[in-house]
Amino acid sequence: MERLIIKGGNHLTGEVDCSGAKNAGLPILASTILLDGSAFIGNLPHLQDITTKLELLNSMGSAINFHEDGFIEIDSSNIVVPEARYELVKTMRASILVMGPLVAKYGKAKISQPGGCDIGTRPIDFHLAGLEQMGAEITSDSKYIYLKAKKLTPIDFEFPKVSVTGTENLMMAATLIDGVTVLRNCAKEPEVLELANYLNSCGAKIEGAGESNITITGVKSLKADRWNVLFDRIEAGTYLVAGAITNGHVKVNKINPSTINIISEKLVQMGVKVNIDKDSVEVDATSSDLKAQDIFTEPFPGFPTDMQAQFMTLNTIAAGNCTIEETVFENRFQHVSQLRKMGADIVLNKNKASVTGVSNLVGANVSASDLRASASLVLAGLVGKNKTQIDDIYHIDRGYECIEEKLNKLGAEIIREPVVY
């Protein structure tokens, strides 16, 4: 176990490079199950979730090799155990993404009930309903979901509610089904488009990814390709907020600005100067007086739920008051109690939080409850008077590569230390 100790009060200045997107890398790794031959995937971030997904693939029979050029070679063409074991799935919800590829390629799958961050109920009913409509026979018990299919058939399926992993799972399964599958009310996230682009580079025929309706014309086989994963828009947004909250001047490189337009717009509304270039976004808050702004989370291209906690922290020291409404997950305000320990003025009412800005936050001993909550506490620590201690930081290591190193490069003072009992 480790913790972070943060000395607050420093203005962050400088440039930071974005890492590869975990939420793009995980489905792409799962998709290698569909391929014939070795895939070479680059720009994968060094994160616990990526490591877990590689361990999962390896446990099923995938051959994995690490190359000096940074690419990871995955040959999943000879899966011998189509099973996602509990000890791996319990830590990461994205493990469920192997379900569609396994059924499509090998005709069966045994998947442990999914885990991940405790941010609310995230049922996989949509995944199962779509696969069942494709022809999979599905049974379950308290620990596992069992799927088998002699042959999958194309479907016309509308998601009752937008689901990123649901869209990805059914899209992957459909790539090897003879005929045309239409998926409606799909997630439009850049990571969904990235997965489709990768599969198309391998020979798939997917049209409409990034829009509401996706059409997949099945092919007989997919051949592996080299691919660099796109950069992480949530990491980029987090570092931009770090610059804003410290009245700093921070430039985030290696990011497609169009994927974070709504984040940039919200920062401008709060009084931060934002400069957008071809592959970078820069914030200058050195002379800014932050103004509170309402936040309403929704699927892409709306405001991302994965940035809700970070902007809540930013609003805690902004002038005025605002309402933050969480519409994607029902249990994503667990950071509120920890921010209150640091002096934040936040009142909760179901899925809404009323935030009134205070003059300053004060360092305290706090605990991370999930991935993005942990990022919000790091941001609070950057401006908190005195020192802030954040425990349970294994959450942050699931989604941020070398976060203290990157922030220290910008002028923060953060120490990672082991917890001694």
Q: DSSP letters of 69-105?
A: TS-EEEE-TT-S--EE-HHHHTT-GGGGGGHHHHHHH
Query: Are residues 304 and 297 in contact, defined by beta-carbon separation less than 8 angstroms?
Result: yes
Q: How many CB atoms lie within 10 A of CB 46?
A: 11
Measured between its terminal Cα atoms, the distance across the chain in Å is: 10
For the chain, how many residues are written?
421
Q: How far apart are CA 123 and CA 23, in angstroms?
A: 18
Q: If we measure between CA atoms, which residue out of 232, 284, 276, 227 comes closest to residue 254? A: 232
Query: Can you tell me the distance from the alpha carbon of 158 to that of 74, in angstroms, rounded to the nearest whole number?
Result: 32
Residue 117 is a catalytic residue: yes
3-state secondary structure of 247: coil
Rounded CA gap, 221 and 75, in Å? 15
Q: Which of 117, 186, 202, 322 is catalytic?
A: 117
Please state, in angstroms and rounded to a whole number, the distance separating the CA atoms of residues 25 and 33.
14
Provide the pairing of β-strand 321-325 with 352-356: antiparallel
Q: Evaluate the CA torsion angle 369, 310, 236, 239 in order and state its sign.
A: negative
Could you give the angle at which helices 164-174 and 99-106 cross, rounded to 10 degrees? Answer: 10
DSSP string, 100-158: HHHHHHHSEEEEEPP----SS----HHHHHHHHHHT-EEEE-SSEEEEE-S-----EEE
* Phi, psi (degrees; rounded to nearest 5) at 372: -75, -30
Report how far residue 206's alpha carbon sits from residue 320's, in angstroms, rounded to the nearest whole number. Answer: 47
Amino acid present at 361 = L
Do the Cβ atoms of 376 and 382 come closer than 8 Å? no
What is each CA distance from 370 to 20, 387, 415, in whole angstroms?
A: 20, 21, 20
Active site residues: 117
